[in-house]
Chain A
């Protein structure tokens, strides 16, 4: 038996595969012998494919050589003009007849089969996805199934109900993780910005050593941050835009005219030495 690769069924959605089913037995299978379990399952699958054997819906194709399988085997042998003894041996006539019939069926594109999945905990995702769908005649297993499930097929004819193959593929990155991850950078940026803003304004309040009350009120009302002040001072120094002059009452002041459009007035002597007494957006 050829095993299908264990790919996820989604990969085969638009690429149906054709696998030729061939029966190969390791040991003799009959009612009174201890048959190899894998041989039993393979034989059941072959007989099922040819519609001689339809398993119980609940159990599906098992590895147990039951009466139904023997009866199906006998029926096949009878139809093939072979001795209907219910015995099959490796490379025997019955095996050859089965493989011939399977090949013939595979070549006949008019033969349509419906896939059935037991739906129990042993069923693989591929088989669950293909349940009640129409499969190609020469698919040994559903694409993606490793052949270890207990799925079976039944003949399908026009006007019979069926499902469209639409596997529920679990995305690698589910939406509920993907969308927040896309939003995360913006969210982090907002948080960081808010933190910086908070930090910037932290020291710019009334009563702060770096500011007079008037300076703090002007900064607050004009929505100027500490970062703005730092930048204004820095750029003013770099561009030599610091005007050293005396205030109206003779107190020395530095007027930093920053390239960010902000003027910072700082007193350099007296009671408010080193304090920002006011700031504004210059024209």
Chain B
């Protein structure tokens, strides 16, 4: 799966709500890049993809466990879409 596809998914999901607040479309570009690089040409399971996205998100946004819980539905949806596009 390409970086562009992941970037589009993250942009549409807008997990942090920055794009809604006026940020440009490449707001989650670095996160998309990290995820795309981790997946590579493999076909990981949903759990692995969810773990990857969660890990990247927690690190990049410096989130606590409770904050991660708040974002989980959106992160799950993004992970599902990534898996479906593999």
Instruction: State which of A248, A272, A280 has its C-beta within 8 Å of the C-beta of B62.
Output: A272
Which A residues lie at the B interface, using CB under 8 A?
212-214, 217-218, 221, 247-251, 255, 263, 265, 270-272, 275, 277-278, 280-283
Minimum CB–CB distance for B20 against chain A, Å: 7
* Residue total for B at the interface (Cβ-Cβ under 8 A): 24
Write out the residue numbers on chain A whose beta carbons fall within 8 Å of the beta carbon of B27: 218, 278, 280
Write out the residue numbers on chain B whose beta carbons fall within 8 Å of the beta carbon of A278: 16, 18, 23, 27
Minimum CB–CB distance for B16 against chain A, Å: 6
Is B23 touching A280 in the complex (CB atoms < 8 A)?
yes
Residue among A217, A275, A283 with the highest chain B CB neighbour number at 10 A = A217
Residues from 28 to 77 in B contacting A, C-beta threshold 8 Å: 29-31, 59-64, 67, 70-71
- Cα of A281 to Cα of B24 in the assembled complex, Å: 8
- Cα of A251 to Cα of B67 in the assembled complex, Å: 9
A-B contact pairs, 23 of them (CB 8 A): A213-B62, A214-B60, A218-B27, A221-B30, A247-B16, A247-B17, A248-B15, A248-B16, A248-B17, A263-B23, A265-B21, A270-B64, A271-B62, A271-B63, A271-B64, A272-B61, A278-B16, A278-B27, A280-B22, A280-B23, A280-B24, A280-B27, A283-B22
Query: Contacts A248-B17, A250-B70, A272-B61 given; 4 further ones with Cβ under 8 A?
Result: A218-B27, A247-B16, A248-B14, A249-B17
Is A212 touching B67 in the complex (CB atoms < 8 A)?
no
Is A213 touching B16 in the complex (CB atoms < 8 A)?
no
Question: What total of A-B pairs shows CB separation below 8 Å?
Answer: 59
Write out the residue numbers on chain A whose beta carbons fall within 8 Å of the beta carbon of B30: 214, 217-218, 221
- Cα of A263 to Cα of B59 in the assembled complex, Å: 23
- Cα of A272 to Cα of B67 in the assembled complex, Å: 11
Closest to B29 in A: A221
Instruction: State which of B18, B23, B60 has its C-beta within 8 Å of the C-beta of A213.
Output: B60
Nearest 5 interchain pairs by C-beta: A248-B17, A214-B60, A217-B30, A249-B70, A213-B60
Write out the residue numbers on chain B whose beta carbons fall within 8 Å of the beta carbon of A217: 30, 60
Closest to B70 in A: A249
Minimum CB–CB distance for A233 against chain B, Å: 16
Is A275 touching B18 in the complex (CB atoms < 8 A)?
no
- Cα of A271 to Cα of B68 in the assembled complex, Å: 12
Closest to A277 in B: B61
- Cα of A212 to Cα of B59 in the assembled complex, Å: 9
Is A212 touching B23 in the complex (CB atoms < 8 A)?
no
Write out the residue numbers on chain B whose beta carbons fall within 8 Å of the beta carbon of A221: 26, 29-30
Minimum CB–CB distance for A173 against chain B, Å: 52
With A214-B60, A214-B61, A280-B24 known to touch, is A249 a contact of B71 (CB < 8 Å)?
Answer: yes
Minimum CB–CB distance for A206 against chain B, Å: 9
- Cα of A282 to Cα of B19 in the assembled complex, Å: 11
Is A212 touching B62 in the complex (CB atoms < 8 A)?
yes
Write out the residue numbers on chain B whose beta carbons fall within 8 Å of the beta carbon of A277: 16, 61
Instruction: State which of A212, A280, A281, A283 has its C-beta within 8 Å of the C-beta of B61.
Output: A212
Minimum CB–CB distance for A41 against chain B, Å: 89
Is A282 touching B18 in the complex (CB atoms < 8 A)?
no
